Structure 1
């Protein structure tokens, strides 16, 4: 019989560390959101909910929220599709599969700055490799400015971010695939089930717990992505890629409205905590139903 007090004693150091690292800054952000501080280190007056009224009553927050939701959904679709295909390939037995499983993680462990430099060079209209290859293939007639228009900038960022993160998702899916009993596939083959039926009747249903977990974690991680967006487009062009993290940074360090930025941070945290709570309950209900 597990002793609850002993268990709490073991996890207490980790809980205290999390409170110190995450809880205290969050409390400070909440306090700051009720003041009118403009620059870090300056004193501010207590103004109550004025910052919340200004943020929720303005259009910048809602537009940035819409872009963040678009960013999360687009990344989820692209990463899931690519990662699932790669995971299914790596789940097969072929020469070099162990090497492939190891090296696929390379794009995920490369530092963000290196990723940005590589893709800036590849997609450059002067000296990049992608535009000449597309022209030689007859796909385009003239070089494309991948970060020049609102639509192309967001699409390009989604593809770059998905390229970086899909190996991690693929490995998690591969771990889920390895937990599916091979006897089920053997029985399905004996019964004459095609590869598509084996996927839809066995692989996809039994992979749902892994996909749900990745959906929660991936949403939280994608929503908070700042570095790739800022280093490649800085929220442009014309704020087309200004997600909530970018809006928070610009409001605090370019607009010198620290309290307003803290307000957006608090609202974003509440949204993400609400999503995490609902998703966790849905996952628990799904597990209990099984």
Structure 2
């Protein structure tokens, strides 16, 4: 009990700071969701659950939620594939591996605005580099507007965001790979196991705890991405990339319905907290089973 109290005293300043920074705005958002405030600073009246009924009864929220799920799943698949391949390569011994491990994080530390400017220029249908390269390779016959159609816009955004974030995930996976004892691989080689068998029987099972943590954290981070989507497409074309964070912004600052935006924020927070709770319970049960 004494050790627990002492530990709580040590972490209490950080907990109080988080409570002030996160808890108080969340409480204010909940209060705002029960009112009919339109513009920041204006007075509102208590309307009960009217905002929740309007949001849950409308199609806009569910469509944005569906796009958010597609966004999260797409990022999860692409980032995991790129990060795992990169981590496996960086876990090998070759000249310059230390430099590669350092510089692989470059795309992650570049500011978002710079990333957006670079990719807008590369993917531009008039003057960009990607379209001419694809035409020369015979993949396409004429320039493609990567942000012009509903399907291509979402796919392009997923690829850009995955390119930005996969180095961070790769370094986390690399840290997990370095904790796997090399004796296991050596014993597997002696027993005649090939590269795929060693990956299937050793690397993948022992990397599962790291992948589960990255899955939870990555899902929460991807779900809340706003800057890349807004700066590249602003939720277009025709709302094809309007995820929940974009819907919240547009409802509050373009539609001037602040209380409805707060309602969507509260519902989104409940969804994410529920996911985090269930994922944490699943990880705890899996650790206990081991």
When normalised by structure 1's length, the TM-score is 0.99
For residues 32-181 of structure 1, the aligned pairs below 5 Å read 32-181=32-181
Q: Secondary structure at the match of 1:180?
A: coil
Who is 2:240 aligned against? 240
Distance 1:44 1:227 in 2: 30
Question: Offset of 1:2 from its aligned partner?
Answer: 6.1
Distance 1:123 1:74 in 2: 20
Q: Return 5+ residue gaps in structure 2 as ranges.
A: none
Distance 1:2 1:77 in 2: 46
Distance 2:121 2:12 in 1: 48
Who is 2:8 aligned against? 8
Distance 1:178 1:196 in 2: 18
Who is 1:206 aligned against? 206
Distance 1:21 1:248 in 2: 20
Displaced runs of 4 or more, over 4 A: none
Q: Secondary structure at the match of 2:189?
A: helix
Distance 1:208 1:189 in 2: 22
Count of aligned residue pairs for this structure pair: 290
Quote the RMSD (CA, aligned, Å). 0.7
Question: Offset of 1:233 from its aligned partner?
Answer: 0.2
Question: Offset of 1:3 from its aligned partner?
Answer: 1.1
Distance 1:140 1:196 in 2: 35
Distance 1:207 1:8 in 2: 32
When normalised by structure 2's length, the TM-score is 0.99
Distance 2:11 2:121 in 1: 47
For residues 181-192 of structure 1, the aligned pairs below 5 Å read 181-192=181-192
